[in-house]
Structure 1
Amino acid sequence: MNWNYLILILAATVGGGLIPMTIKRVSANFSIYLLAFTGAFLFGVVIMHLLPEVYHELGHQAGVYIVLGFFLQVFLQQLSHGMEHGHTHLPQEHHHHIAVTPLLLGLSIHAFMEGIPLGFKYDDQSALPSLMAGVAAHKIPEALTLMTVMIHAHKKRSELWSILVCFALVTPIAALLAGWMGNRFEVVQHYLLYVVALVVGAFLHISTTIFYESGTKHHELSRKKVLAIAIGLLLAFLTLIFE
């Protein structure tokens, strides 16, 4: 396990969470284009690195688990209300109650799932560093959205820090746990591949939802959002140089 990768993900999560904690008013357009860029980057990494890996190892079974992962994410977003892809669903000014527990539960399960593939041993040497970069990029808007919601839930400053630090640790801990168990138990390493396929499905759901929904009116794709998506995909293509 490369500790530098885990530190990068931890730093990206904390950095994303600090944005709404230090800037009183974050531009809506900034969030839209950041989501589009990171979603496209993650999408490209999944298509070019993870999909070939799971299909090579699992054959047609991979498709079954990818579909299951896709709909598992649909279920999880019923708890998190889509914070993984930028949905805040903040209440109106006259109504300040936000059910924090299910939001944190759904997003934490998703974050734990994100970490498991980071502890897997890939045949493709470029898969792990590319995935690490994709997850780190995705963590920035994910943490930004989480802390925006927590601020509107009127959490104290100390509570905000506790939530952010705990959330930032979930994905690295999952990666360490998966890597540790996979190295010691061959059967665990084998079944981790099925979990990777599930997470691929979840990533596909999140990234495609970002393309067509998050931050847009009537699900349109503006020129600037298309440009952000194009840059994200271009960087994903550049990860092929790791091979």
Structure 2
Amino acid sequence: MNWTFLILILLATITGGIIPMTVKRVSDNFSIYLLAFTGAFLFGVVIMHLLPEIYHELGHQAGIYIVLGFFLQVFLQQLSHGMEHGHTHMPGEHHHRIAVTPLLLGLSIHAFMEGLPLGFKYEDQSALPSLMVGVAAHKIPEALTLITVMIHAGRSKASLWRILVIFALVTPLAALVAGWLGGRFEVIQHYLLYVVALVVGAFLHISTTIFYESGTKHHELSRKKVMAIAIGLLLAFLTLIFE
């Protein structure tokens, strides 16, 4: 397990959460383009590294679990209100009307799922570091959105920090648990493949939703958003150099 990357994910999450606590108003454009960039990078990593790996190991079964993961994320989104892709889908006009507990539950389950593939041993040596960077990048807008909503829900400063720290720990802890169990029990390492396939489906749902929905009026693809997506995909493509 690479502790450097786990610390990077932890710090990225904390950084994303600190932004709305210290900046009075975060620019909408900043969130839109950050989401587009990180979503594209994660999408590219999934397509170029994870999909070949799981299809090589699982064959056509991989497709079944990818589809299941895609719709599992659809279900989790009902709890988290789409925070994973920067969209809140809040009922009414005021964030304080939302039920905070199911929102945190849905987002925490998603964060735990994100961490499990980080504990898997991939044949492609560049897959794990690429995925860890992709997850770390995705954590910044994810935590930013979470804390923004918690601020509007009227949470105190101390409560915001508790939520942020606990949320930041979920993904690294999931990676450590998966890595520890997978390293000691071969059967668990085998079944982690199916978990990776599920998470790939969830990542595909999140990243494609970011492309076509999150942040823009009428869900259009503006020129700057397309540029952010293109840069994210280009950087994901460059990770193939390290294979």
The Cα shift of 1:218 comes to 1.6
CA distance in 1 between counterparts of 2:42 and 2:2 reads 20
| 2:143 corresponds to | 143
Distance, in Å, in 1 between the alignment partners of 2:6 and 2:239 is 18
* Matches of 1:97 and 1:217, distance apart in 2: 23
Q: Any idea what the Cα deviations from partners look like across 1:166-222, whole Å, max 9, x if unmatched? A: 000000000000000000100000000000000000000000000000011222100
Q: Paired residue for 1:9?
A: 9
Residue in 2 aligned with 1:72? Answer: 72
Cα offset for 1:87? 1.1
Question: In structure 2, what is the equivalent of residue 189 of structure 1?
Answer: 189
Alpha-carbon distance in structure 2 between the residues aligned to 1:147 and 1:239 = 31
Alpha-carbon distance, 1:136 to partner: 0.3
CA distance in 1, matches of 2:73, 2:223: 28
Number of positions where the alignment pairs a residue of Structure 1 with one of Structure 2 = 242
Give runs of ≥4 in structure 1 deviating > 4 Å. Answer: none
Question: Hey, what's the Cα distance between the residues in 1 that align with 2:138 and 2:126?
Answer: 18
Query: Whole-Å Cα distance in 2 between the matches of residues 60 and 92 of structure 1?
Result: 45
Gaps of 5+ in 2: none
Structure 2 distance, partners of 1:19, 1:99, is: 23
Alpha-carbon distance in 2 for matches of 1:98, 1:76: 16
How far, CA to CA, are the matches of 2:109 and 2:32 in structure 1? 24
> Residues of 2 paired with 1:106 and 1:78: CA distance?
8
Q: Deviations over 1:120-178 (max 9, x none)?
A: 00000000000000000000000000000000001000000000000000000000000
My pick for the range that moved more, 110-119 or 97-106, is 97-106
Q: Per-residue deviation at 1:92?
A: 2.4
| Inter-partner Cα distance in structure 2 for 1:98 and 1:49 | 37
Q: Match of 2:51?
A: 51
Q: What are the residue-to-residue correspondences of 1:142-221 with 2, within 5 Å?
A: 142-221=142-221
Deviations 1:24-56, CA, capped at 9 Å, x for gaps: 100011100000000000000000000000000
TM-score normalised by structure 2 residue count: 0.98
CA distance in 2, matches of 1:3, 1:92: 42
Name the structure 2 match of 1:229.
Answer: 229
How far the C-alpha of 1:242 sits from its partner, in A, is 1.5
